[in-house]
Amino acid sequence: MEIIVSITVGLLVAIGIWMLLDRGLLRVVLGIVVLGNGVNLAVFSAGRLDGRAAAFVTEAGAPALAANPLPQALVLTAIVIGFALFVFALAVLKRSWELHGNVETDRITAVAEEPAPDLPAPAQSVTPTSGVAAAPQAAGASPAPGVLPATPAAAKATRHGAAAGGQA
């Protein structure tokens, strides 16, 4: 049993690493999942695999045939966490696809290494010139509400920002 599990873990880790080295981000993300499952299986095997009895400790002591339940609990935790992270990675993958058109890892790294974009030109940032005059009081009183930008994520923010601005 242990040998089969060892070989499986080895195969999963090998496949996972091979996929991680791929140029496509999709395979990299899936590679993380395969690698994660290999690791989970390895942790699982730390608590003996031949458990044939329920791990209930009675007055008579622990049953001899039971596997150690702790690694199983650990793996359960790791699976849940791993799933959450996988979903996040998928979301990042989907968004990369939308923004970049393709998801080649080299291209993605190249974008992150590009020179930093400059802030919007003065012509735009001077627009809130009224803000310059109003700034001392605004900053003094409470800098938070009025200047909250409308986030593309939440259209609600615009409404609140406008409301706060209206009150001010």
Partner 1 sequence: MNTLIVSPLLIPLATLVATLLARRSPRAVTALSLAGALALAAAGLVLVGLAAQGQILAAQAGGWAAPYGITLVIDRLSAAMVAITGIVGSATIVFAMARDEDPARCRDFHPLVHGLLVGVCGAFITGDVFNLYVWFEVLLVGSFALLVLGGGKRRLSGTVVYVVLNLVATMMFLLAAGMLYGASGSLNMALLAQAFAAGEVPATAHAAVVLMLTAFSIKAALFPVFGWLPASYHVAWTPVSALFAGLLTKVGVYALIRLVTLFWPDAGVAHEVLLWVACATMLIGVLGAAAQVEVRRILSFHIVSQVGYMILGLALATPLALAGAVFYLIHHIVVKANLFFIGGIAARLTGSERLAAMGGLYARAPWLAVLFAIPALSLAGIPPLSGFWAKFVLVKASLDASAWIAAGVALLTGIFTLLSMSKIWNEAFLKPHPAGRAGERSAAGMRPAVWAVSALAVMTVAIGLGAGPVMDYAIAAAEQLGAPAGYIAAVTGTGGR
Residues 100 and 114: their CA atoms lie apart, in Å, by 14
Residue of 149, 155, 162, 165 that binds partner 1 (CB under 8 A): 149
Residue 147 CB partners (closer than 8 Å, separation 6+): 131, 138
Query: Under DSSP, is residue 66 helix (H, G, I), strand (E, B) or coil?
Result: strand
Tallying the residues shown for the chain, one arrives at: 168
Q: Smaller CB distance to partner 1: residue 52 or 136?
A: 136
116 touches partner 1 by CB under 8 A: yes
Instruction: Note the maximum CA span of the chain.
Output: 82
67 touches partner 1 by CB under 8 A: no
71 touches partner 1 by CB under 8 A: yes
88 touches partner 1 by CB under 8 A: yes
Stretch that binds partner 1, among 49-57, 58-66, 105-113 (CB under 8 A): 105-113
166 touches partner 1 by CB under 8 A: no
Residue of 43, 51, 66, 72 that binds partner 1 (CB under 8 A): 43
Give the DSSP letter of residue 65.
T
168 touches partner 1 by CB under 8 A: no
Give the DSSP letter of residue 13.
H
Exposed/middle/buried for residue 96 (C-beta within 10 Å: 0-12, 13-18, 19+): buried
Q: Closest Cα partner for 30 from 82, 81, 75, 86?
A: 86
Q: By the criterion CB under 8 A, which residues form the site for partner 1? A: 20, 25, 28, 32, 35-36, 39-40, 42-47, 70-71, 74, 77-78, 81, 84-85, 88-89, 92, 95-96, 99-100, 105, 108-109, 111-122, 125-126, 128-129, 131-132, 135, 138-140, 142-145, 147-149, 151-154, 157, 160-161, 164
